[in-house]
Amino acid sequence: MFGLIGHLTNLEHAQAEADKLGYAEYAKEGFEFWCSAPPILVDEFQVTSVTGAIIHGRYIESCFLPEMLSSRRIKTAIRKILNAMALAQKNKIDITALGGFSSIIFEEFNLKENKQVRNVELEFERFTTGNTHTAYVICRQVEEASAKLGIDLSKATVAVCGATGDIGSAVCRWLDQKTDVADLLLIARNRERLQALQSDLGRGKIMALEEALPLADIIVWVASMPRGVEINNEMLKKPCLLIDGGYPKNLGTKFNHPDIYVLNGGIVEHSLDIDWKIMEIVNMDIPARQMFACFAEAMLLEFEQWHTNFSWGRNQITVEKMEKIGQASVKHGFQPLLSF
Ligand code: NDP
C-alpha cells in the first residue's frame, strides 16, 4: 500500500474545502483551530497501471497550512508533519510521499532527529519526498513545451527560481547534462549556496529575480514560497514560457498575454481514471487523471515494489535516478502535463 501526505494552500482554501475532506464542521473554524487539528485519513483509492497492475493507496491530510511558517508557528508545523507520518505508519502504509511543504519542513528543521512520535518510532525508509520524479517531470516539461512553442533550447536562456533547492538543483543538473541549453540563470536568496551550486555545475549565472526576468526565455519556478509573487508582464521576454512547480504556486499573477505561456509545473497526467476526491480539492483541471508528480512517485515505488525512500535528503538527486524514475513513470502510463 502507498500513502500520500498533503496539505491545502492557505486557510481560505482549507475552510472552503473542509466539507470535501469529510469535516464540514471545520469550515467555520479559524487559524488556531487548524493549528490544533490532528491529521486525518481522508481518502482510500486504487490506481491501475497501463501494465494492468493495481495498487491501493490512502491520502492523509496533515492539516498543515503555509501560514504556520509565515506566522512563525514552527513547532506547530513540525508537529503536523510528524503526526501525519506517524499516522501513515500506524496504517501500515509501505511507502508514503511527503507532498508540498511536508518534505521541506522535514529537511529544514532536521526532523530525522525526531524519530519517536509518542508510541511510534518512525521508519524513514517508508517515506519519500517524491522530488526525484517531480524534478524529472519539470525537466520533461521544459523540453517538450519549449519544442511545442518553437523555443530552441540551444539558443535559450533558462532561469531557475529556487535553483539551490532540492528540486531546483536537480533541474539545473539535468538541463546541464541532458540538454544543450545555452544559458542558465540561478536564482535564490542565499549567496553561498548559489556559489556552491555554480561551482558544482561549472556554469550558470547568479542573478536577482528582477535582473533575470527580462533575460529568460523559460523560467522554472521551484522556490518554497508560502505565497506567490506578483510580476508585471512588461518585465518578461516575449515569448516566455513559465513553468510553475511551486505548491502553493510561486506566481501570484494571472497573465493574459498571447506570448506568455504558463504551465502547471511538476504535474502528471495518468492514462487511466482514478476514483478519488483529493485532486478535486486541490483544483486540478482533470482531477481523475492529474496529480502532483511527488504523489505519483509513491505510486511508482509501489508499482515497482521499491519500498525505499527513493528521494531523501536535500540536493542528493542525480540525473541517473531521475532517468530511473522517469522510465517507471512512462512504463505505468504517466505523462508530464503539457496543456497551457
Ligand atoms: P527546497 O526547500 O529544497 O528549496 C527551495 C528553494 O527556494 C531554495 O533554493 C530556496 O533558496 C529558494 N527560495 C525560497 N524562498 C525564495 C524566495 N523568496 N526567492 C527566491 N528563492 C527562494 O524546496 P523543494 O525543492 O523541496 O520544493 C520547491 C517547491 O516545489 C515548493 O513550492 C514545493 O511545495 C514544490 N513541490 C512541488 C511538488 C509537485 O509534485 N509538483 C512536489 C514537491 C514540492 P533560499 O532559501 O536561499 O532563497
Amino acid, single-letter form, for residue 233: N
pLDDT of residue 71: 83
Q: Which residues pair with 57 in a beta bridge?
A: 2, 45
pLDDT of residue 80: 97
DSSP code of residue 339: -
DSSP 154-190: GG-EEEEETTTSHHHHHHHHHHHHHS--SEEEEE-S-
Cα of 216 to ligand 1 centre, how many Å? Answer: 19
Residue 71 · residue 14 · CB < 8 Å? no
Residue of 224, 279, 299, 310 best suited for mutating to test ligand 1, as the one with most atoms within 8 Å of CB: 224
DSSP code of residue 9: S
Cβ 66 under 6 angstroms from ligand 1: no
Maximal CA-CA distance, the chain: 56
Cβ 225 under 6 angstroms from ligand 1: yes
The answer to whether the pTM exceeds 0.85 is: yes
**CB atoms near residue 72 (< 10 Å):** 9
Question: Can you give the residue ranges of every domain in the chain?
Answer: 2-131+269-331, 135-266
Determine the Cα–Cα distance for residues 309 and 170; give it in Å rounded to an integer: 17
pLDDT of residue 150: 96
Closest CA relative to residue 90, chosen from 54, 56, 126, 37: 126
Hey, whose CA ends up nearest to atom 10 of ligand 1? 162
Please check whether the domain covering 135-266 is classified as CATH 3.40.50.1970.
Answer: no
pLDDT of residue 126: 97
Residue 40 · residue 91 · CB < 8 Å? no
Cβ 193 under 6 angstroms from ligand 1: yes
pLDDT of residue 70: 84
- In sign, the C-alpha dihedral spanning 61, 66, 71, 74 is positive
Residue in this structure with the C-alpha cell 511510534, named with its chain if needed: 120
pLDDT in tens, 281-319: 999 999 999 999 999 999 999 999 999 999 999 999 999
pLDDT in tens, 312-337: 999 999 999 999 999 999 999 999 99
Cβ 64 under 6 angstroms from ligand 1: no
Cβ 266 under 6 angstroms from ligand 1: yes
Residue in this structure with the C-alpha cell 497573465, named with its chain if needed: 255
DSSP 87-144: HHHHTT-SEEEETTHHHHHHHHTTGGG--EETTEE--GGGEE--HHHHHHHHHHHHHH
Cα of 336 to ligand 1 centre, how many Å? Answer: 20
Cβ 101 under 6 angstroms from ligand 1: yes
Cβ 298 under 6 angstroms from ligand 1: no
Tally of CA atoms within 13 A in the half-sphere of 303 that contains its CB: 24
Residue 268 · residue 325 · CB < 8 Å? no
Closest CA relative to residue 271, chosen from 251, 298, 252, 299: 299
pLDDT of residue 65: 96
**In a structure prediction context, what are the per-residue pLDDT tens digits for the chain, which is 340 residues long?**
999 999 999 999 999 999 988 889 999 999 999 999 999 999 999 999 999 999 999 999 999 999 999 888 999 999 999 999 999 999 999 999 999 999 999 999 999 999 999 999 999 999 999 999 999 999 999 999 999 999 999 999 999 999 999 999 999 999 999 999 999 999 999 999 999 999 999 999 999 999 999 999 999 999 999 889 999 999 999 999 999 999 999 999 999 999 999 999 999 999 999 999 999 999 999 999 999 999 999 999 999 999 999 999 999 999 999 999 999 999 999 999 999 8
